[in-house]
Homo-oligomer: A and B are copies of this chain.
Amino acid sequence: MSDPNRRPAVVEVHEGGLTVRWSDKSPMHLPNYWLRDNCRCPKCRHPGNGQKLYEIVDLPADLAAIEAMVAPDASVKVLWSDGHRSEYAADWLNAHDLIPSARDARRPQVELWGKTIESALPVGEWPQMLQDPAKELAWLDRYTALGFGLLRNVPTLSGMVAEVGDHLGFVRVTNYGRLFDVISVPNPNNLANTSLGLGVHSDNPYRHPSPGVQLLHCLEAGAPGGDTLLVDGFHAAEILRKENPGAFALLSTVPMTFRFADDKAELEARQTLITADMDGVVTAVHFNNRSADWLDAPIDLAGRWYAAYRVFAQILKRPELELVFKLGPGDLVVMQNDRALHGRTAFDPNLGRRHLQGCYIDRDGIESRRRVLKRRTTNRTDAAA
């Protein structure tokens, strides 16, 4: 990325916008409307919360910059055709460059992982995190980069998982309630309640929206087996893109219908297995063999989609992608549900009890908590900037 300390040297006014020339001579083009809508003056944005105080249609249709200059503090000052004056700090301009390298550098720093992460698990000691926000922030940073994290020494009390959920974000209540138990029970209404092994999957893709983050807390682990499996869905998607771009394209455009029904609920949602943004960056992976209902797609795509589906499912089974570990009592795993796919090995419920409790939280709550902790620890005061 470009030098974060570079400063505007010259600014030129064109018909469609401005061109800032940096001290290193590189140009930064700024379309008129884009630039004006980024004006941060107190007439344009509420000084307290940064919300906009005008509507986009309030601006004149023929809005143009009349004059622009680089001020002694290296900010860029603009006089607009409607008489409004805007000022853009050099740091702000630097942070909002639209050239491809600058846009790439702003993307979330995602670390793809596989089996070898066994030796560097993102572990946090829950009692210490509660005492020390810096420790919690460090754990949240690892969680954010990897899409999962482990907490140790979480008290083995029923309901504790929801307390942790409400600490990190906000528990999402569903037809399962505020939390759910994963134990062996007779007459299960969901395969997770049997002792069979389960291939890796995202939970509840039949919800609208599907859960953002899952927490699973181990209360008892007396039965042999029942190890937790985790696979980085983003990593698997990147492998698919590299090895089979056509399959990646199909799975990121053609949605599967997922479905779950019991006597109390009937849930249905359509989701692509892979979600990518306009720049091709993978932002979500939903994979759930059990609740995949049917594919409502044009006939010519339906056959090809299934071939792609099988290729992706096979990648997800590669041993080098699979993290295997055993949760012990007091361990709690936090998983970004649309990235860290989870499963378990089979276990024998007759040889000991196995009891997990789980809950869901939304992504925005835990993301917000990390930003607020970061702001506090760095004494940032520009909450609304």
Q: A362: which of B16, B31, B209 is its contact (CB, 8 Å)?
A: B209
Interface residues of A in 258-273 (CB under 8 A from B): 259-270
Q: Is A171 an interface residue (CB 8 A)?
A: yes
B303 engages A16 (CB within 8 Å) = yes
A363-B278 in contact given A296-B103, A317-B57, A383-B266 (Cβ < 8 Å): no
A310 engages B33 (CB within 8 Å) = yes
Q: Closest CB of chain B to A162's CB: distance in Å?
A: 11
A189-B48 in contact given A57-B314, A365-B175 (Cβ < 8 Å): yes
Q: A49: which of B190, B212, B292, B371 is its contact (CB, 8 Å)?
A: B190
Q: A170: which of B34, B173, B187, B363 is its contact (CB, 8 Å)?
A: B173
Q: A52: which of B59, B190, B292 is its contact (CB, 8 Å)?
A: B292
Among listed A93-101, A136-144, A146-154, A230-238, interface-contacting one: A93-101
Mark contacts of A251-263 with chain B using CB atoms, 8 A cut-off: 1 yes-contact digit, 0 otherwise.
Answer: 0011100011111
Bound Cα distance from A299 to B189, whole angstroms: 52
Bound Cα distance from A303 to B54, whole angstroms: 19
Mark contacts of A374-385 with chain B using CB atoms, 8 A cut-off: 1 yes-contact digit, 0 otherwise.
Answer: 010000000110
Closest to A191 in B: B51
Q: Is A291 an interface residue (CB 8 A)?
A: yes
Please indicate the chain B residues that have their CB under 8 angstroms from the CB of A253 in the complex.
278
A372 engages B209 (CB within 8 Å) = no
Please indicate the chain B residues that have their CB under 8 angstroms from the CB of A302 in the complex.
31, 34, 98
Q: Is A80 an interface residue (CB 8 A)?
A: no
A38-B294 in contact given A57-B317, A255-B278, A262-B383 (Cβ < 8 Å): yes
Please indicate the chain B residues that have their CB under 8 angstroms from the CB of A171 in the complex.
173
Mark contacts of A183-213 with chain B using CB atoms, 8 A cut-off: 1 yes-contact digit, 0 otherwise.
Answer: 0000111110000000100000011110010
Please indicate the chain B residues that have their CB under 8 angstroms from the CB of A278 in the complex.
253-255, 297
Q: Closest CB of chain B to A321's CB: distance in Å?
A: 14
A56-B309 in contact given A51-B290, A264-B372, A368-B265 (Cβ < 8 Å): yes
Please indicate the chain B residues that have their CB under 8 angstroms from the CB of A61 in the complex.
310
Bound Cα distance from A295 to B187, whole angstroms: 52
Q: Closest CB of chain B to A140's CB: distance in Å?
A: 13
A363-B209 in contact given A57-B313, A106-B296 (Cβ < 8 Å): yes
Question: Knowing that A172-B173, A255-B278, A267-B367 are A-B contacts, what are 8 other residue pairs whose CB atoms are under 8 Å apart, sorted by A's residue number?
Answer: A37-B292, A55-B313, A56-B306, A59-B310, A209-B209, A209-B364, A262-B383, A262-B384
9 examples of A-B residue contacts, CB within 8 angstroms: A48-B262, A49-B190, A52-B291, A56-B313, A99-B299, A171-B173, A172-B362, A174-B365, A261-B384
